[in-house]
Amino acid sequence: MAKIGFIGLGIIGSGIVKNLLKAGHEVTVWNRTTSKIAEMETLGAKSVADPIDLMHGYDYFAYCLADDFAVTEIITSGRELASKINSTTVVIDFSTIDPDTSLAERALYEARGVKFLDAPVFGTKGEANNGGLWIVIGGDENVFNSAQEVLTPISETLHYMGKGGNGAMMKLVGNLLVVSQLLSLGEALTMAKKAGLNLRDVLGIAAVADFRTPIYNGVGAGVLANDYEVNFPLRLMLKDAKLMQAFGARLGTSVSIADSVRPFLETGVEEGLGDLNASALIKVMAEKIGVDLSDK
């Protein structure tokens, strides 16, 4: 069993750690907000008071941090952990960040001979807790193969995408598809409600017709129940919309979905909905038109 140092006990990181422990690995954690460490300790994790103490004596160093700012603060410029880690430790970054940030951290690691995988995840709280994430990985294929002992217990499927940075890129491509479904569902439900259609009937058709998706099903039911309990925080969806826009601009490709959704996400954050589920953007969209989608 491997010795793993892990940083970032948020919604996804805590689920990952639970399944690494369940698989029998020895996991030592650190989190900025120390209150989140206790639950992991009850499940068998060890902890350190400072992440610098995870730099030596571990087979793997992995993290799932909120955004580019956090990765920069902890890994690259701020705490400079990438410049302090033992060269035999394999590093895995599960965060969703700009591919350029991922390539920059990779360069720091590789300059010192440290093996690194960019490995952002699809799936949300349930998949993280159940070891059912879908993970997209960039980096050396031999490193990917050797890291199966860590990646397999936390995932339903693993997708090796090729060279370093490709995992981070695939994550933004996938999130463009996710956000397009949230946006289309919001517009469709708002139109249907305004037109006087029964939203249960609308979702019933969306559940069986050739445009059905798990997102229409799950999010649609939540919207009608006025249930925006967090799985994927709206504030992080705003972060991802910005990442998609920046990535698209660099590539010269259209990201009209990200352009359209961003103002609703910004309004959501301004209205204090940032820690609700990203699907709350549909509530923001409907309220802008003066429509209440809840059937409560």
Q: Give CA–CA dist 266/159, Å, rounded.
A: 32
256-270 vs 280-288: helix crossing angle, rounded to 10: 90
Q: Give CA–CA dist 262/237, Å, rounded.
A: 9
The site for ligand NAP (CB under 6 A) is made up of: 8-13, 31-33, 36, 64-67, 69-70, 73-74, 95-96, 121, 124, 231-233, 236
C-beta of 77: minimal distance to ligand NAP in Å?
12
Measured from the CB atom, the residue of 190 and 277 that comes closer to ligand NAP is 277
The answer to whether residues 261 and 281 touch, using CB atoms and an 8 Å cutoff, is: yes
C-beta of 33: minimal distance to ligand NAP in Å?
3
Residue nearest to ligand NAP (CB): 10
Measured from the CB atom, the residue of 59 and 98 that comes closer to ligand NAP is 98
Measured from the CB atom, the residue of 185 and 202 that comes closer to ligand NAP is 185
Q: Give CA–CA dist 63/95, Å, rounded.
A: 7
Measured from the CB atom, the residue of 35 and 254 that comes closer to ligand NAP is 35
The answer to whether residues 112 and 90 touch, using CB atoms and an 8 Å cutoff, is: no
Give the pair of three-digit tokens for residue 79.
Answer: 């705490």
C-beta of 157: minimal distance to ligand NAP in Å?
14
The answer to whether residues 68 and 97 touch, using CB atoms and an 8 Å cutoff, is: yes
Q: Give CA–CA dist 171/68, Å, rounded.
A: 14
C-beta of 32: minimal distance to ligand NAP in Å?
3
C-beta of 128: minimal distance to ligand NAP in Å?
7
Measured from the CB atom, the residue of 17 and 114 that comes closer to ligand NAP is 17
Q: How many helices (H) and strands (E) does the chain have?
A: 13, 9
